[in-house]
Structure 1
Amino acid sequence: MIIKKVKILNFKSLRDFEIEFNNDINIIVGNNESGKSTILEAINLALNGQLNGRQAINEISPYIFNLEIVNEFKADLVAGNTPLPPSILIELYFTSEDPKLASFKGTDNSEKSNELGIVASIEFDERFNDEYLSYIENPAQVKNIPTEYFKFNWHSFSGASLTKRGIPITTTLIDASTIRLQYGTDYYIQKIINDTLDPTQRTNLSLIYRGLKESFSSEEAIQEINDVLSDTSANLNEKALSVSIDVSQKHSWETHLTAYLDEIPFNYLGKGEQNILKILLALERQVEDSNIILLEEPENHLSYSTMSKLIKRVHEKCEGKQLILTSHNTFILNKLGLEKVILIANGTQTNLSALSEETQNYFRKLPGFDTLRLVIAEKPILVEGPSDELIVQKAYMMQNEGKLPIEDGWDIITVRGLSFKRFLDISILLGKQVVVVTDNDGNYAKNITGKYQDYLVHDFINICADTNNDYPTLEPQIVNDNTLENINIILGKEFESK
């Protein structure tokens, strides 16, 4: 059983969003705040009924609603209308031949289509209608959505209400980036250890720990201390005062024992070591029985070699399952397959599988991070080499009071001349504005007009090249177009002639 499609309405950064998935591996990439993590959260909410690791009903907050819809709601109130508060809607559409999911089929979805699926919604509870009307009597004082009057609704496409036990789909969300410490214990690690032990082992561990605590009071030095305390308290009442370790809690080992790696406490390990250990433990224990694996940016804090080993392990453990992961890392894209990449930009989905096979093959072989730079860049400028990058950057700084292009969102990306068309293929797929600064190589008609004729029909693609064939590259073009004085200023030199 797999998720074939997810629809998200008004949840965090996603106003009205739809995404389709591959049956096996899905790599979600995009800029910060594009909604990558929100997609994983939405899937986990719909399958497990949880937000931030707690029951959804306990985590309903005004800040999980899309900001645009919140502002529209407040503007509607100020305009004198009485709108109902907006709702959050998440729909999962499944593909499955499992008879256990047959009862999940129906038309109770936004498309009214007869499908297998689940609906999770956070919506206004009409039982609080009177309280809500009282709350909005003075619209100018309404600063946010009154989520105190909301409920969590969870049902299948057949309309039947759901509970976690009633969903025959097991999912695992692995996010090792957030480490919550209390009393030296990482609860993520302790949960995995606790889940790994069988009931007998957990009981034995609790008994042994209790025994260690009780033996504390038997130490001679502790007995001497308690004798002194007892004598002191005898002056106040007839009861003996002593110190010991609390043994009243049944399972206190969870909050007092910590994990070690090569005799080093887990919390003293480097962030990269902590993250990879968490991910590997989760993969070993939780993935085995899961149908769907959600993995949040596994590359965090990892070196290239460590990440290579981790991704190989992820690929092995998740074989035959649906894997949905988010990433900013080009290596992961190339390792797991470029055709599995889903680009998220401006609230829309683009699949790199839509690129030509020639372009896909090119990017599979491309080292470094350039595969993603065009996607993530706000305003990309493509140049042929390092010298071109320096010249364009210097010219921009001179025209903009010393500001670097990247400070205004212009990302100068150095690519080989033969690669321009491959990057422009992605630009067309995304509808992204891009500027190309290139050489005419002595033949403008052939190397610019002819070469890029299929790309120049798009108004968001701008090819910048000198039309004069006597100046085939950028450097002589600059010399030709500037006075000697300007060239010396630009280069910080004192040349006597061009």
Structure 2
Amino acid sequence: MLSKVVIQNYRTFRKFKLDFDTEMNILVGDNDAGKSTILEAIELSLTGKLRGRPLYQDLSPYLFHQDVASEWIAALKGGHAAPPPEIIIDLFLESTPETAALKGSNNLLKADEPGVRIRVALNPDYEAEYKEFVKQPDKVRLIPTEYYKVDWLAFDGNGVTFRSIPATASLIDASNIHLQSGVDYYMKHIIDSYLKADERVKLTRAYRSLRETFAQDESIVKINSALRGAPSDVSDRELTLNIDVSQKSSWESGIVPHLDDLPFQFVGKGEQSTLKILLALNKKVNDAHIVLVEEPENHLSFPNLGKLVKKISEKCKDRQVFITTHSSFVLNKLGLDKLVLLSKAEGVRLDRLPVDTQDYFRKLSGYDTLRLVLARRSILVEGPSDELVVQRVHMDTHDGKLPAESGIDVINVRGLSFKRFLDIAQLLPQNLVAVVTDNDGKDASDVKQHYASYTASPNITVHVGEDATFKTLEPQLFKVNGRATMNAVLGQSFTTEDDLLDYMRKHKTDCALAIFGSDQAISMPEYLKEAVDAVS
């Protein structure tokens, strides 16, 4: 198993460290946060390959962290003797008898532990050429990787091959899996499992016979006759068309998979994605300790994603798994305690969440927990009507902009599960979270005291209407606007306050939609404006 990774100057990471869970690691983060980079770094360290090719063949200046490259170029142009930048990926393994040969302190942490290192550095053989290159700094635009080499080392400083590393990795990305390889394997598995040796021989003979008769077809005979008579400017031999019937061309590779009588390429992308992932798991997990899965939710409906996640968890038992995702369903089902929120320097884990909160989200997996995790600024509300009104408050105070345009996510937690979300918010001090809630006839100070253990964290605030006689959002809106204004906004003509309030309570969402879309100036309760200000 892998214990941690330390990355320096590789892609999005200048200095990065992440400790791993021994079973499941769910990597989430904004776009370009480095989710795929971590999977890539693990695979690269264990195989020496990038996208299936040896790294030295695909060395590029764009593999280096952009700031590091820019600073190196600026130093050269400033007349400073800047050392050429290096990429280092240190992958630490658990200490076992099998990993003892990889033990050493040749790593960025200077720790005496087993592991492997990828180092991209200036090749001493080209040092003279490099020095000549940097003598004209005005012409330097990129890091000259043609003068670099790739070292693949154990932490004891000795070189390694994939055979000397007692761990293997399988990167499963449905968008990049070559189907034919998976289908070949799957067909071979069926043959090996269900067909006897003599049955395989008979099938092979029958398949070859069918291929041999191809040349005897009347239309093919005519085509070959014409080809034999054609002038040859390449070879003196006769040119004809036929099907390869050699031993290497077995019948398994000639079969095209069908799903409900449809050729595979004509079924939906979701079905293709699922089959690709499961085929790859069937093929690779049997001989891999580390399973890397890239965004399994792509192209899948909610119920089909549920089936796939269950199969992934079943097939990956007793193995260390790394999954990148943007799906709250995947996260909630596999466990919030396994979540790693990526930053530029490290990963923040939510494994300190209360067990009952973890179970809560696992059972009610539709909750948008990832929205809270990923949003730097969030407002939690009780229902859809509150969500619409809070958005209107932001529009009124920010030149007509929706909260999302300012980077604020207004999240409907669908009831009174604020504390479950605040358990998460407490572990993410960099995320500002405001709660908007009704007083339900209680004193505002008592409502806020209910959340005192959370508001002790400086990133969390709670906002509630001060007047206990106005229990919910609708009476609060009525209080600051009055009957005439609310009638005009809602397109009604109630003659009594009680009738208007009764209508607003019974038609909460309709009223909120009318308020959200109204061109008329509307006064908003102070506690709503305070909530927007708290995260703005």
Normalising by structure 2, report the TM-score: 0.80
- AA paired with 2:55? A
Q: Is the 8 A contact 2:367 2:413 kept in 1?
A: no
- Residue in 2 that maps onto 1:464: 463
Q: Give me the whole-angstrom Cα distance separating, in 2, the residues matched to 1:295 and 1:324.
A: 6
Q: Deviations over 1:121-156 (max 9, x none)?
A: 222223222322333334343322222222111111
Q: What SS does the aligned partner of 1:72 have? A: helix
- Residue in 2 that maps onto 1:189: 182
Q: What SS does the aligned partner of 1:34 have? A: coil
Aligned-residue offset at 1:376: 1.8
Normalising by structure 1, report the TM-score: 0.86
Q: What SS does the aligned partner of 2:7 have? A: strand
1:152 to 150, 153, 157: 150
Shifted more, 391-400 versus 272-281: the winner is 391-400
Q: What SS does the aligned partner of 1:122 have? A: strand
- Residue in 2 that maps onto 1:136: 134
- Matching of residue 277 in structure 1 with residue 275 in structure 2: yes
Q: Is the 8 A contact 2:208 2:245 kept in 1?
A: no
- Matching of residue 481 in structure 1 with residue 474 in structure 2: no
Q: Is the 8 A contact 1:194 1:202 kept in 2?
A: no
Q: Is the 8 A contact 1:26 1:323 kept in 2?
A: yes
Q: Is the 8 A contact 2:378 2:433 kept in 1?
A: yes
Q: What SS does the aligned partner of 1:430 have? A: coil
- Residue in 1 that maps onto 2:319: 321
Aligned 1:349-360 pairs, distance under 5 A: 349-360=347-358
Q: Give me the whole-angstrom Cα distance separating, in 1, the residues matched to 2:353 and 2:409.
A: 23
Aligned-residue offset at 1:337: 2.7
- Residue in 2 that maps onto 1:290: 288
- Matching of residue 9 in structure 1 with residue 8 in structure 2: yes
Q: Deviations over 1:234-257 (max 9, x none)?
A: 9x9995764425859996789x94
Q: Is the 8 A contact 1:34 1:347 kept in 2?
A: no
Question: Against the structure 1 CA distance between its residues 240 and 49, is the aligned structure 2 distance closer, same or farther, given a 3 Å change threshold?
Answer: closer
- AA paired with 1:313? K
Question: Against the structure 1 CA distance between its residues 156 and 16, is the aligned structure 2 distance closer, same or farther, given a 3 Å change threshold?
Answer: same
Q: Give me the whole-angstrom Cα distance separating, in 2, the residues matched to 1:367 and 1:386.
A: 19
- Residue in 2 that maps onto 1:161: 159
- Residue in 2 that maps onto 1:264: 262
Q: What SS does the aligned partner of 2:321 have? A: strand
Q: Give me the whole-angstrom Cα distance separating, in 1, the residues matched to 2:21 and 2:377.
A: 30
- AA paired with 2:182? I
- AA paired with 1:92? L
Q: Structure 2 unaligned runs (5+)? A: 498-536
Question: Against the structure 1 CA distance between its residues 253 and 73, is the aligned structure 2 distance closer, same or farther, given a 3 Å change threshold?
Answer: farther
Q: Is the 8 A contact 2:88 2:118 kept in 1?
A: yes
Question: Against the structure 1 CA distance between its residues 383 and 374, is the aligned structure 2 distance closer, same or farther, given a 3 Å change threshold?
Answer: same
Q: Deviations over 1:275-333 (max 9, x none)?
A: 11111112222111211111112221122222222222222222111112122222323
- Residue in 2 that maps onto 1:397: 395
- Residue in 1 that maps onto 2:340: 342
Aligned-residue offset at 1:73: 2.2
Q: What SS does the aligned partner of 1:455 have? A: helix
Q: Give me the whole-angstrom Cα distance separating, in 1, the residues matched to 2:74 and 2:495.
A: 66
- Residue in 2 that maps onto 1:75: 74
Q: Give me the whole-angstrom Cα distance separating, in 2, the residues matched to 1:214 and 1:109.
A: 61
Question: Against the structure 1 CA distance between its residues 346 and 163, is the aligned structure 2 distance closer, same or farther, given a 3 Å change threshold?
Answer: closer
1:244 to 235, 241, 246: 241
- AA paired with 1:260? P
Q: Deviations over 1:11-36 (max 9, x none)?
A: 22222111111222222222322211
Q: Give me the whole-angstrom Cα distance separating, in 2, the residues matched to 1:173 and 1:472.
A: 54
Q: Give me the whole-angstrom Cα distance separating, in 2, the residues matched to 1:210 and 1:428.
A: 67
Q: Structure 1 unaligned runs (5+)? A: 181-185
- Residue in 1 that maps onto 2:122: 124
Question: Against the structure 1 CA distance between its residues 490 and 249, is the aligned structure 2 distance closer, same or farther, given a 3 Å change threshold?
Answer: farther
- Residue in 2 that maps onto 1:427: 425
Q: Is the 8 A contact 1:172 1:290 kept in 2?
A: yes
Q: Give me the whole-angstrom Cα distance separating, in 2, the residues matched to 1:137 and 1:208.
A: 70
- AA paired with 1:85? P
Q: Is the 8 A contact 1:118 1:154 kept in 2?
A: yes
- Residue in 2 that maps onto 1:42: 41
Question: Against the structure 1 CA distance between its residues 450 and 95, is the aligned structure 2 distance closer, same or farther, given a 3 Å change threshold?
Answer: same
Q: Give me the whole-angstrom Cα distance separating, in 2, the residues matched to 1:192 and 1:378.
A: 45
Q: Give me the whole-angstrom Cα distance separating, in 1, the residues matched to 2:163 and 2:200.
A: 24
Question: Against the structure 1 CA distance between its residues 341 and 128, is the aligned structure 2 distance closer, same or farther, given a 3 Å change threshold?
Answer: same
Aligned 1:434-445 pairs, distance under 5 A: 434-445=433-444
Shifted more, 36-45 versus 339-348: the winner is 339-348
- Residue in 2 that maps onto 1:384: 382
Q: Give me the whole-angstrom Cα distance separating, in 1, the residues matched to 2:237 and 2:120.
A: 56
- Residue in 2 that maps onto 1:51: 50
Q: Give me the whole-angstrom Cα distance separating, in 1, the residues matched to 2:208 and 2:62.
A: 43
Q: What SS does the aligned partner of 2:454 have? A: coil
In the alignment of these two chains, the number of paired residues is 489
- AA paired with 1:83? A
Q: Give me the whole-angstrom Cα distance separating, in 1, the residues matched to 2:364 and 2:180.
A: 40
- Residue in 1 that maps onto 2:217: 219
Q: Give me the whole-angstrom Cα distance separating, in 1, the residues matched to 2:427 and 2:175.
A: 32
Q: Is the 8 A contact 1:216 1:244 kept in 2?
A: no
Question: Against the structure 1 CA distance between its residues 228 and 445, is the aligned structure 2 distance closer, same or farther, given a 3 Å change threshold?
Answer: closer
Aligned-residue offset at 1:258: 6.3
Q: Is the 8 A contact 2:104 2:156 kept in 1?
A: yes
Identity over aligned residues, as a percent? 42
- Residue in 2 that maps onto 1:183: none
- Residue in 2 that maps onto 1:371: 369
Question: Against the structure 1 CA distance between its residues 58 and 355, is the aligned structure 2 distance closer, same or farther, given a 3 Å change threshold?
Answer: same
Q: What SS does the aligned partner of 2:117 have? A: strand
Question: Against the structure 1 CA distance between its residues 151 and 401, is the aligned structure 2 distance closer, same or farther, given a 3 Å change threshold?
Answer: same
Q: Give me the whole-angstrom Cα distance separating, in 2, the residues matched to 1:128 and 1:209.
A: 57
- AA paired with 2:22? N
Aligned 1:199-210 pairs, distance under 5 A: none
Q: Give me the whole-angstrom Cα distance separating, in 2, the residues matched to 1:177 and 1:341.
A: 23
Q: What SS does the aligned partner of 2:314 have? A: helix
- AA paired with 1:481? V
Question: Against the structure 1 CA distance between its residues 481 and 126, is the aligned structure 2 distance closer, same or farther, given a 3 Å change threshold?
Answer: farther
Q: Is the 8 A contact 2:211 2:245 kept in 1?
A: no
Question: Against the structure 1 CA distance between its residues 79 and 217, is the aligned structure 2 distance closer, same or farther, given a 3 Å change threshold?
Answer: same
Q: Is the 8 A contact 2:86 2:119 kept in 1?
A: yes
Q: Give me the whole-angstrom Cα distance separating, in 2, the residues matched to 1:442 and 1:238.
A: 96
- AA paired with 1:428? Q
Question: Against the structure 1 CA distance between its residues 228 and 45, is the aligned structure 2 distance closer, same or farther, given a 3 Å change threshold?
Answer: closer
Q: Is the 8 A contact 2:103 2:155 kept in 1?
A: yes
Q: CA RMSD in A?
A: 3.5
Q: Deviations over 1:176-200 (max 9, x none)?
A: 12366xxxxx4553674698699x9
Shifted more, 362-371 versus 36-45: the winner is 362-371
- Residue in 1 that maps onto 2:532: none
- Residue in 1 that maps onto 2:106: 108
Q: Deviations over 1:377-424 (max 9, x none)?
A: 242111111111111112323444543222222111012563223222
Aligned-residue offset at 1:274: 1.3
